Chain A
């Protein structure tokens, strides 16, 4: 009789343990608040303007740009290749397969940084991996890259290198339009810059 009671206790205990364990093995599990905060702190969810520039220059097919603004703002202007998921309809059935998938990395963006940042926190918490956010949004991107200003000659080589990448990305936005205007300037100015870059490359 006693051994039967013991057996019951053992079985009940083991099933209690079993009931707890499977939760941790589930891969599509939602993130805890601490995990999301940790991600924000480490900057793992952010894509900087210059990182996006590399994606655009390399035409990296593993990235998908997602414009979270309204349909009218999207129509007026959007990044080349972006799709439009207005923030309001982020969690609707139409779009869930775009934001909950393993095929590519999504980059959320809006005009500023807060709306896309909040969309990112929510989707990450929900357990949707592969989502990232453009830091500072369109405003910062146009500030830094599309309207990039040439650094002064005394600036270090790294700054000139970054400027060249930004300038290279502009062709994807401005097409051939911007080049003829500053044609002569471009012919003359980059020469010392290029020399610096060659030296840099040789050393490293």
Chain B
């Protein structure tokens, strides 16, 4: 009789641990789980599907009923110092935190921007792999926006296409 009781106790403990572990793994997987493979998102980048044209954004923004969600992924200090009107600030380090899940799930068009487009393109790649849809990268970043749309003086080179060669590399190496 005693042996049976012992077995029952051991059995239920093991069962409880198993159920707990299975439940935990489900909980961990449901949030921030990769939904699109690297190859699938690679296809989208090849097709340049991630870019949002700043000229188009400036037209939309001027309309009062604009339905875009601008997300500034720089630091709070940089955001306070300057940001595009109507943008919200989510520093990229924290963009996968639970509190921002609702914003990323928003049906509206979401546009990420950083100083240049590099950081936002990298973060976009992760968010797209997580399955978030209707999300874009502001091409040329804030640098292009400030210089060409808002006509402000900024430091450093300004190009709409980050991947455009700024030099004739061959000539730079061999000037003749």
Contact = CB atoms under 8 A, between A and B. Distances in A.
Q: Answer yes or no: do A and B interact.
A: yes
Interface of A: 2-3, 6, 9-10, 12-14, 16-17, 20, 30, 32-34, 36-37, 40-41, 73, 76-77, 87-88, 90-91, 110-115, 117-123, 125-126, 137-139, 142-143, 146-147, 173-174, 177
Contacts of A111: 162-166
Tier of interface size on chain B: 35 or more
B113 to A, nearest CB: 12
A114 B18 contact: no
B18 A146 contact: no
B173 A146 contact: yes
Nearest to A31: B34
B123 interface: yes
Contact of A114 (B15, B118, B165): B118
- The 10 residue pairs across chains A and B that have the minimum distance between CB atoms: A112-B162, A77-B169, A13-B18, A113-B118, A122-B38, A114-B121, A126-B38, A16-B18, A121-B125, A112-B163
Main secondary structure of the interface of B (DSSP, over half): helix
B169 A138 contact: yes
A9 B10 CA distance: 10
A177 B18 contact: no
B53 to A, nearest CB: 15
Contacts of B14: 9-10, 13-14
Interface string B1-45: 000100110111011011101100100000011100111011001
Nearest to A113: B118
Given A110-B163, A111-B163, A33 B118 contact: no
B163 A123 contact: no
B170 interface: yes
B172 A117 contact: no
B96 interface: yes
B143 interface: no
B130 interface: yes
A82 to B, nearest CB: 12
Contact of B125 (A9, A87, A118): A118
B95 A37 contact: yes
A13 B11 CA distance: 9
Contacts of A91: 38-39, 42
Given A10-B11, A14-B18, A142-B167, A87 B118 contact: no
A30 to B, nearest CB: 7
A76 B171 CA distance: 10
Contact of B170 (A40, A41, A76): A76
B79 interface: no
